[in-house]
Amino acid sequence: MKFELDLFRKITDELLQDEKENPVLPPIHPKNISNVLDLDLSENGSSDDDFAKAIRNLVFNTPRTTTKSFFNQLFGGRNAKATLGDLLAVVLNNAMHTYKVSGPMVEIEKIMVSHFNQLIGYKNNAGGTMASGGSMTNFMAILMARDKAQESIKNKGVQHKLIAYTSKESHYSVSKNAAFIGIGREQVRYIESNDDGEMDTILLQKTIEQDLNKGYQPFFVNATAGTTVMGAFDPLDKIAALCKKYNLWLHADGAYCGSVILSKKYRHLVNGAANTDSFSLNAHKMLGTPLTCSFIMVKDKKYLHDSFSNNASYLFQMDEDEYNLGKISLQCGRRNDGLKLWTLWKSVGHKGLEKIVDHQFYLAAQGREYVRNHPDYTLYSKEDTLSICFNYKDIAPEEICAGLYEHGKLMVGYGSFKGDTFVRLITINYSNSKEDILSFFKKLEAFATKHYSLSLNPA
Ligand SMILES: *Cc1c(COP(=O)(O)O)cnc(C)c1O
């Protein structure tokens, strides 16, 4: 390993330095990749020298997602403590399915799940696990809901029209997952949101009633804590009341912003969380760990065992099975994705995680204020979201996002809500300061002045 560790150290040292000077790499067109990089695989392999060169070249031509100019996605930044944890997970290479092969790593995962359960407000029966992303934790939720709604489905397949509900603003995995679990995409009802992007609960109830009248079987509501575009929070307490009335599984998709449970100041955004049946969050989004670090917490762990254990039903288990995480997992072998959050959490404590969450909202508030006070901007976002949605002058958002990237200035994306399309700036990289956010706008304005001045009104 010595050669490889030395090489790793050398390349990362160089990379960290270079990232400061060149935080955005202009894109390589996919057609040119093989001209720029030595990626092809040969019969005889490479000498150590060529190998090192090829790796360095690859690393230095890969988009930079951790710098202060990356605002493109719902993740960002590089937390050193979490990165250390993930590097160790690779070196140790455990699989999380049995206690025998992962030992204390099992306890680490259980401890974090248990903290999350307490923060959500779940009681003693609660459980939880990790999966390879938020789409997969959403999948686990809808699958548990299906099996709860009709136990026979696991063996006989779907016999009835089972109906799932989610808002139009929810993540696209809900529709894919409906296909995966065999109920079909057409059995998902997309409920309109209000002007803030939150699911309209009156419409939700109406739609449930309509389906019941047709003889269908409603079984599942997906509520979102932090919608992908607007960062809106569906009203969990109101939705929970409806789910109780109609006996539906309520899942809170907190992939983006479920981590607000760690903050005294912002946990009110998920009021009613204790009344959900499952709650997911991606620590690789708001908590800043490397990808992926996705948790799903379940109010009654019986359902995890019922849907994901392949033998004995939950009641007949031995105690040790509590430590064989494969019994409640989607996968067999599973990567140790928990360690990176644990190393961060161990180092900064609950208070440190809370600071991370609060700072992201602070940055968003600064950005919104800038946009609001500047006549050349139109603001689309509401309060209490990490997504600052705006347009600058009359420049098409698609165009300016592409231009900023091609010229190596900024990585930022765009989104749409109720007919408007806009630039979407995400303040999820908590190592940024207020100045970094203001500098985003300055760079955007300078770029616009340079490239769009002719097409704009001189006024
Ligand atoms: C990111 C996101 C997901 C998907 O998570 P992945 O880890 O990318 O699969 C699901 N739901 C919401 C609301 C998200 O923001």
Q: Find the 398 Cα to ligand 1 centroid distance in Å.
A: 22
Q: What residue's CA is closest to ligand 1, atom 5?
A: 134
Nearest to residue 197, comparing CAs of 366, 356, 429, 424?
A: 424
Burial class of residue 286, CB neighbours in 10 A (0-12, 13-18, 19+): buried
| Proportion of the chain above pLDDT 70, given as a percent | 97
Ligand 1 touching residue 386 (CB < 6 A): no
Ligand 1 touching residue 117 (CB < 6 A): no
Q: What residue's CA is closest to ligand 1, atom 15?
A: 256
What are the pLDDT digits (tens) for 388-414?
999 999 999 999 999 999 999 999 999
Atom number in ligand 1 closest to CA 228: 15
Q: Find the 64 Cα to ligand 1 centroid distance in Å.
A: 20
The answer to whether 226 and 386 have CB atoms below 8 angstroms apart is yes
pLDDT band at 316 (very low <50, low <70, confident <90, very high): very low
Q: Find the 282 Cα to ligand 1 centroid distance in Å.
A: 7
What are the pLDDT digits (tens) for 333-356?
999 999 999 999 999 999 999 999
pLDDT band at 322 (very low <50, low <70, confident <90, very high): confident
What are the pLDDT digits (tens) for 222-271?
999 999 999 999 999 999 999 999 999 999 999 999 999 999 999 999 99
Determine the pLDDT at residue 458: 46
Where are the strands (E) in 68-122, listed by range? 70-71
Q: Find the 256 Cα to ligand 1 centroid distance in Å.
A: 6
- Residues 413-439: b if buried by 16+ CB within 10 A, e if exposed: bbbebeeebbbbbbbbbbbbeeebbee
Ligand 1 touching residue 292 (CB < 6 A): yes
Ligand 1 touching residue 134 (CB < 6 A): yes
Mutate to test the pocket of ligand 1, among 256, 279, 291 (most ligand atoms within 8 A of CB): 256
Tell me which amino acid residue 259 is.
Answer: S
Q: What does the DSSP 8-state code read for residue 186?
A: G
Question: What tokens does 413 get?
Answer: 């994306």
Ligand 1 touching residue 127 (CB < 6 A): no
Determine the pLDDT at residue 315: 46
Determine the pLDDT at residue 454: 55
Q: What does the DSSP 8-state code read for residue 303?
A: H
- Distance in angstroms between the alpha carbons of the first and the last residue of the chain: 63
Determine the pLDDT at residue 321: 78
Atom number in ligand 1 closest to CA 284: 7
Q: Find the 175 Cα to ligand 1 centroid distance in Å.
A: 13
